[in-house]
Structures are given as structure tokens and as C-alpha cells.
Chain A
Amino acid sequence: MSTLRSRLTPHLLLAPATICLVVFVAAPLVIVLVLAFFNLNLVTGTSSFVGLANFTTEIPHPEFARALRNTLLYAVFTIGPSMVGGLLVALLIHGLRRGQGFWRSLYFLPVATTLVAMSAVWRWMFRADTGVVDTVLGPLLGIHDWLSDPNLALAAITVVGNWHQIGLVAILYLAALGTLPQDQYDSAALDGAGGWNRFWHVTWPALGPTTIFVFIMTAGSALQAYDVIAAMTQGGPLGSTETLTFAIWNRGVHYFDIGRAAVLSLALLVLSVAVTAIQRTGYARRLESGGTR
């Protein structure tokens, strides 16, 4: 009896976490995987097994390649710039003698606001001819009406994505900068390391774990970008801002095509797994362990 009890106890203790994982992670994953092989009619409530039909119609469809391309473009142009920008902002604020609190709050404001509401403001700023962007940048760059131009709409979305993300990245880096070990900077000063070498040999390795964390965070939100697009362009013009998440919503909720939405979801899953895999590779691994003393 007691052996049965001692065997059960750990399972009972793990049960709450296990149930949450199953209900919110494993089950949806399995459901999406299953749905991808079915044709589900939401009106009649009937469903039929269609094999790989959803895959063979969705993957060659231009929508798929376009959504994939837009997602990757959006990811590349938000992850990189917001990480570099956030780090620069953090380094600048960290170097200030006074007013750190003010600048920290200022850069964090976009993170604290509701992105949908702010996207509305941005849409107004990007408005053709009368918007701030067109009146200021129009004469300088010779381009205008970003949101109606299939070549510029994604760039506009990316600007807003970066604007929103940089504050968060800066706060995370600032927190890490506050805990850097002073003794290494003393060594570096005596060893003759100047500004760049101090950053490259002391600060950057010590920030390694934060960099990995920031990458995972920004990559996660870049791959799942939805609210800015929904509020600013609805995926348009001509699908030029339709990312995978937006396409999933379009397919599944707009066209009631659950099967093909499931295929798109699986594509997003594969992409997320690939990003996670990057974190386990050589340099990222070294970065992650860089801060160990």
C-alpha cells in the first residue's frame, strides 16, 4: 500500500502542471495536427477526412509563399534592429550621470501602451500626404502614402514593430547592465582595453544570457505579429502585409477554412521550432554561458 502511495505521490504533485500543459499546449497541438487532415464544415458541423489535400492546395498557393516571405521579412527587420537599437539605447541610458529614470520611462512607454490603440495613432501618422510621415519624410525621401503602397506597407508595419519592441529590449539590457561585475572593468582598464575592446571583451560576453533571452522574446513576438497588422493594414494592400498569423486568422475566421488554417499554423510552428533551434547552436550556446563566473 505504502509503495503504491509513494509511487503515486510524485504524479499527484506534478498533476496541476501536467494538466495545464496537456490542456493548453499538447491538446491544441494535436488538434491542429488532426484538423490539417480534415475538411471541417462549420455550418453543418460535419467533417470529412481529406488526407493531404489541405497541404497540396495550401502550400503551392501564392498566399502561402507570400505569408511566409512577409513573416520572415517582418521578423528579420524587427528582431535585428530592435535588438541593436535597444542595446544602444540601454548603453546610452546606462552611461548617463543623471536623468536615467526619465529616459528609461520614456523608452518604456510604447511597451506599456495598448498596441492596437497606438497602431491607430500610427495609421494616422502614416496617412497619405497630410500625415506626419509624409509631410516630414516625403520631401526628403520622395516617397509617400506608405500604407497604400505594396512595397512600403510592410516597412511601415516594421517601423511600428520596432518602435514598440525597442523599449522592452532596452529595459532588459539596462537591468543586465546594472549587474555587471565592476572588477572586470578594472582589469580591462589596466590591461589597456579601450572603449570598443571593453564592450567587446567584457560587456558583450556578460550580456550573453540576456541577449539570448531578448532574442527569444523578440523572435516570438515577431513571428506572432498580428495586432499592428490588423489595426493598420488588414494584411493589405494586395496581401503585402499578410503574415502567417494574419493569414491563419483570414483563412480560419474569415473563410471558415479550418483545414488550411491548420496547415498555416503548422508552418508557423515549424518556423518557431527553427528559431528555438538557433538558440541551441554554437555561438548562441557560448553567449548563453558567457555570464558564468
Chain B
Amino acid sequence: MSAPVHIRAVSKSFEGAKRQTTRILDGVSLTAPAGQITTILGESGCGKTTLLRIVAGLETATSGGIHIGEREVTSVHPSRRGVAMVFQNYGLYPAKTVAKNIEFPLKMAGVAPAERRTRGLAAATLLHIDHVMDRMPAQLSGGQRQRVGIARALARDPEILLMDEPLSNLDAQLRIEMRAELVAMQRRIGSTMLYVTHDQTEAMTMSDRVVVMRGGHIEQQGTPEEVFQVPATTYVAAFLGNMNLAPAPASETGAGAGTTLGVRPEHFLPADHSVPQEGDLCIEGAIEYAELLGTDRILHVRAGDTLWRARVDAALPLHERITVRARAANVHRFDAESGVRLAV
């Protein structure tokens, strides 16, 4: 049971001190397809959490609307939208046991005690916390607490699952495990998931669709592959995968003035170990710094005013200077002023 979420031209402004209005969201429109994971990715302050809270009904939009399936829910109470939410800080009830936390939405919905117990236990079993049902939240680890938060969200069989940075408070190893587990869980229950994160790895690994937000508007949306391989703006290029961005050198053919070139560090090839092809971008410069990452090494190459990062094999012998090349297909071109991708 799932439905798509349509966010239509949602704007949100806050009236701050001295009657100054701060615009948090500026005409955001997107669709989260039914039964898929849509990730809203952005830095803190870009409005992604506010957008999610508007979908949940915890905030009201200044203008625009939310539709779940065919239903317009813009002014429907949070509990009647068929959405459930998982919070970064878990949002558990500290005075209730795990079982009572999970069953609470069912209790509020007037579900009979026996059925509450069965459904609560089913949700807990799905998240492997059925052995801690009688404990209090304070007696659980962070990972277990977030599992309780997710189980509580699942207990109601929501059409839409909203996740607000659910893994941010967990330690690195647990985050990697939970990532895979969350995807597997979503595939099993098949509900539509809107997932807010600032972590590009989470966005890349978990999503069916990625929406990159910046300063209250959508910078780009698409599949993870699209967004990574064909970034629409310099911001997306830098945020996902940390692309090198530099003004096009005068020697570079085919690029007019006011063009920014973008090359991913891993797309640079050492010139000595590759065959030159037509249209290659060649960079010759001094190695300022080298970071060893294990099998690879990131070289910081100074060429003129620009510092390029090139990811090369750690076995490559290092000299003071190096020449690297990037194939024409791997060189992205953006308008220097607007940062928008230029059509080739």
C-alpha cells in the first residue's frame, strides 16, 4: 500500500525580528514516486527539514500544496495524512516502555489492545528489537532507540514514511549497517519513503531518486546516476563527489570566456601512463600535497592559480611535477556566472 507524494510550488517564509521575512523555501515542486525512496539532500539550512515537516503537517506552508496520491492534504492534521515520521533525535516518549512507545499511535487511533500488541510486536520483530520490549528508552543504545522510532512509525502501516536524518546520531559503522537495513525494510513493506539527509553517501546508496536542495530551492533532481554523472550546476558537482571546478584556461579549445571546467578527481589519468586522444584536457603542475587513501592517492596539483585534485593509483611514483589528462567526455562545462551546465 503506497501512494506518491506531490509537493506543488511550496514556499515558506518566517517573520523574524524587525518584521524581516526570511524565505526558507521558494516554490519547491517535486514528486516522490510511490513505493520508492526519494532523498532530499542538502547542507544544513537549505530548507530540507522544513520541507519534510510541511509534508508531515508539523509546519504549514506559506503557499503551495501537498498531495498524497489523489488526496490534497495541505491543511489536513498530521495524524490523518497517512504519514509516519522518524526523527533525528528519535522523539521517543521517555516515560513509556519500548512496547508502549511502538503501540502509542495505535492506541491513539483506538485500536483494540490485543491487536495493538500483535502489530507492535510485528513491527518490533522487523527491526530486531522484540527482545527489549519491556525496557525504557533510556536503557537502550542510540541504534536501538532509532529502531524503536522506526518501529513506531511502521506500526500504523503508513502509506508514506518520512525520515529526518534518522542515522545522523549513530556512529559510523552502525550507520553503514542501518543504511542497507533501511533499504531492505522499505523494499519489504513497499511504502513511499521521503528521506532527508546531508550525507551524500546515504543519498547515493539508498535512493531511487535524489533531490539536491540549496538555499530553499531545488538545484537538481533525478536518479543518483543522473545527478552524479550529469550535474546540472557547479554546486551539485561540488557537493556530490567533490568535483574540481576551475575557470577554463585560455589554451583550452572549445571553451569560451566565462566558462568553468569541472573534472572529477578520479577522471584524471597520469599522462605518462595513458594514450593521448583528441580533445583531452591536460594539466601540468607541481604537486603541492599528496593524501594517501590506501589504494589511491589524492594529488593536489598547482597549475597557475588553480589547485586541481587528481586521484591516482598509490603505486604511481611521485615526482615534483606531474602532467595529468582528462578525456573530453569527462570534462564538464558550466557557465561561470550562473554555475549552470552548458549544453555541449
A residues near B, CB below 8 A? Answer: 181, 183-184, 186-187, 189-193, 197, 201-202, 205-206, 208, 286, 290-293
Contact = CB atoms under 8 A, between A and B. Distances in A.
Nearest to A187: B91
Contacts of A189: 57-58, 77-79
B334 interface: no
A187 B255 CA distance: 53
B290 to A, nearest CB: 44
Q: Which 9 A-B pairs have the closest CB atoms?
A: A192-B79, A205-B95, A187-B91, A191-B105, A192-B108, A183-B91, A290-B95, A189-B78, A293-B94
A224 B108 CA distance: 44
Nearest to B58: A186
Interface string B55-97: 0111000000000000000000111100111010111111110
A291 B96 CA distance: 11
A186 B105 contact: no
B56 A190 contact: yes
B268 interface: no
Contacts of A181: 89
B262 interface: no
A184 B109 contact: no
Nearest to B106: A191
A183 B95 contact: no
Interface string B136-167: 11100000000000001000000000000000
A291 B94 CA distance: 7
B338 to A, nearest CB: 38
Contacts of A193: 79, 104, 108
A293 B57 contact: no
B84 A190 contact: yes
Interface residues of B, number: 28
A284 B79 CA distance: 32
**By DSSP majority rule, is chain A's interface helix, strand, loop, or mixed?**
helix
Contacts of B79: 189-193
Contacts of B84: 190
Contact of B87 (A183, A197, A208): A183
B252 to A, nearest CB: 52
A290 B78 contact: no
B104 A205 contact: no
A192 B53 CA distance: 15
Interface in B23-67: 53, 56-58
Given A187-B152, A189-B58, A192-B105, 12 more contacts: A184-B92, A186-B58, A186-B85, A186-B87, A189-B78, A190-B58, A190-B79, A190-B84, A190-B105, A191-B108, A192-B108, A206-B94
7 contacts: A181-B89, A186-B58, A187-B85, A187-B152, A208-B95, A291-B94, A293-B137
Interface hub of A184, A202, A206 (most chain B Cβ within 10 A) = A184
A192 B83 CA distance: 11
Contacts of A192: 79-80, 105, 108-109
Contacts of B96: 201
Contacts of A183: 87, 89-91
B94 A292 contact: yes
A25 B56 CA distance: 57
Contacts of A202: 93
A190 B78 contact: yes
A99 B84 CA distance: 36
Contact of B85 (A190, A201, A292): A190
A200 B200 CA distance: 40
A201 B87 contact: no
A292 to B, nearest CB: 5
B155 to A, nearest CB: 9
Contacts of B105: 190-192
Contact of A190 (B83, B92, B94, B136): B83
Given A190-B83, A192-B108, A293-B137, A205 B93 contact: yes
Contacts of A293: 94, 137-138
A281 to B, nearest CB: 17
A181 B91 CA distance: 9
A202 B95 CA distance: 8
A202 B77 CA distance: 19
A187 B148 CA distance: 12
Nearest to A197: B108
